[in-house]
Amino acid sequence: MRTPASSGGFAVVCVIASMFILLALLVPNNRVFAQDFPKPTFNDDGELLRPDISYREWVYVGTPLTPNDLNPPEASFPEFHNVYIHPSDFDHWKRTGRFPDGTVLVKELVTVGATAATSGKGYFMGEYIGLETTIKDSVRFADEPGNWAYFSFGHSYPLADSAAPFPAAACNACHAASAADDFVFTQYYPVLRAAKSATSGHVMDSDSKEFGEIAAAMGSAMVTVFDATADTPEVDSAVPTDLEDLFRYLKNGSYKSFAAKESGQHPTRGPHTNVGWPVRVFMDPLINASLVAGNTSHPVGSSIVKEMYDGDGDLQGWAVMVKTQADSAGGKGWFWYEVTSTRSGSDPVAAGNGVQLCQGCHFIGKDFVLTDFPLQ
């Protein structure tokens, strides 16, 4: 039989134990918490099934926005993009500074709603309109650059129940060229940047084995995406496609006679030499007339020349696109060319039809034309 004193001691122990149990339930543990959220799965046809809505409870990464107002006349991505990463993948990222095999990122698209509120003028979220997902899987996507694949369930409701991966050229080429960490644009997500540096203390030294592995993987991807994937047919165009004739044409500045040209240099949004360095675009009469008419497909022979400058504003090369067939064929119907020298055209970065990096970035344009129009 317990005495009153022993009963009281037992009661205190019970209370303390209960408090510890309650605290254990209330204080989140990332590694346990992460297991509560399922990851997306695939059907028998290899299509990704639309993720469970619980992704809105994953780790929120950020919300990029490139509104129409700042990208006239129409932005390529005018919506808010709410980005989430699966908690277990975020936990691994914090501890190691690397995205593990199986990483899942979800991007939910939201319209720009009101542009004024009691707090002032700005861009405020409207309605959900779309959903996209990125997955890193070294087994399922062994042949894709970085083992990443990209999926879209639509940009309007109702969303698709499943989605096949985009061709690598549609997404991965731009990610390979411009993303800061393993094909992910961490430079635009302070949540990921802060977690990597502050929590893990991880710094990727350029001399480290890790940096070498990732650089090799991205370098291998870049070699592939700069290769031509289709033959270049002969075409009657203002800008030649024969490589020797083309470099001579560019070096002589023959394109400068085009009436349609940008008024001056401006920072590039693409991976030409360096993102943000100056460029200037010149359009031949054929493509200019087609854009003025509002065509969604441009005529054969349409040509665009882009001057590329270094950080000091000195000309250091050109990028060229010429349409060589009526069917753009996912970018294979365009001749792509880029050279980063004004002295020699012997070693172009890209030359030919169907260059994946070029067509991947331009995929979202109007028949692959990304330049803002009317020209500024």
Decide which of 284 and 330 is more confident: 284
| 80 and 209 part of one domain | yes
* pLDDT value, residue 16: 43
Q: What's the pTM?
A: 0.55
Residue 233 has pLDDT above 80, yes or no: yes
Rounded mean pLDDT of 178-194?
Answer: 87
Q: How far apart are CA 226 and CA 182, in angstroms?
A: 18
Residue 234 has pLDDT above 70, yes or no: yes
Q: How far apart are CA 25 and CA 88, in angstroms?
A: 19
Q: pLDDT band for position 143 (50/70/90)?
A: confident
Q: Using the 8-state DSSP alphabet, how is residue 345 labeled?
A: -
Q: How far apart are CA 304 and CA 115, in angstroms?
A: 35
Does residue 340 contact residue 319 with C-beta atoms inside 8 Å? no
Q: pLDDT band for position 225 (50/70/90)?
A: low
Parallel, antiparallel or unpaired: strands 80-85 and 125-136: unpaired
Residue 29 inside a domain? The answer is: no
Please spell the DSSP secondary structure of 79-130, one letter per residue.
SEEEEEE-HHHHHHHHHHSSPPTT-EEEEEEEEE--SEETTEES--EEEEEE
| 247 and 318 part of one domain | yes
| 183 and 250 part of one domain | no
Token pair for 141: 């996507």
Residues shown for the chain? 376
pLDDT in tens, 354-364: 988 788 778 77
Helix (H, G, I), strand (E, B) or coil at 169: helix
Number of domain units in the chain: 2
- CA atoms in the 13 A half-sphere facing the CB of 192: 27
* pLDDT value, residue 275: 62
What CATH number does the domain containing 99 carry? 3.50.70.20
| 221 and 248 part of one domain | no
Q: Which of 192, 225, 258 is the last residue of a domain?
A: 225
* pLDDT value, residue 237: 97
| 274 and 182 part of one domain | no
Token pair for 366: 């109007």
Residue 67 inside a domain? The answer is: yes
User: H-helix or E-strand containing 21?
Assistant: helix 4-26
Percent of the chain predicted with pLDDT > 90:
56
| 168 and 114 part of one domain | yes
Q: pLDDT band for position 342 (50/70/90)?
A: very high
| 211 and 266 part of one domain | no
Please spell the DSSP secondary structure of 28-96, one letter per residue.
--HHHHHTTSPPP-B-TTSPEEPPPGGGGGSEEEE--B--GGGSSS--SS-SEEEEEE-HHHHHHHHHH
Neighbours of 157 (CB within 10 A): 11
Residue 180 inside a domain? The answer is: yes
| 57 and 203 part of one domain | yes
Residue 151 has pLDDT above 50, yes or no: yes
Rounded mean pLDDT of 294-304?
Answer: 96
Neighbours of 117 (CB within 10 A): 10
| 306 and 351 part of one domain | yes
Decide which of 44 and 13 is more confident: 44
| 220 and 86 part of one domain | yes
Residue 16 inside a domain? The answer is: no
Residue 154 inside a domain? The answer is: yes
Closest by CA to 342, choosing from 248, 203, 241, 215, is 248
Residues in contact with 125: Cβ distance below 8 Å, sequence separation at least 6, in sequence order: 80, 110, 111, 112, 113
Rounded mean pLDDT of 10-34?
Answer: 43
Residue 115 inside a domain? The answer is: yes
| 197 and 258 part of one domain | no
* pLDDT value, residue 19: 44
Q: Which of 190, 225, 260 is the last residue of a domain?
A: 225
Residue 168 has pLDDT above 70, yes or no: no
Token pair for 192: 């990921």
Residue 372 inside a domain? The answer is: no
Residue 324 has pLDDT above 50, yes or no: yes
Q: Which of 198, 225, 252 is the last residue of a domain?
A: 225
pLDDT in tens, 85-113: 999 999 999 988 899 999 999 999 999 99
Residue 319 inside a domain? The answer is: yes
Compute the mean pLDDT over every residue in the chain, rounded to the nearest whole number: 83
| 46 and 78 part of one domain | yes
Residue 164 has pLDDT above 80, yes or no: yes
Choose from 17-21, 22-26, 166-170, 370-374 the range with maximum mean pLDDT. Answer: 370-374
Beta bridge partners of 106: 84, 133
* pLDDT value, residue 33: 47
For 102, the domain range is 34-225
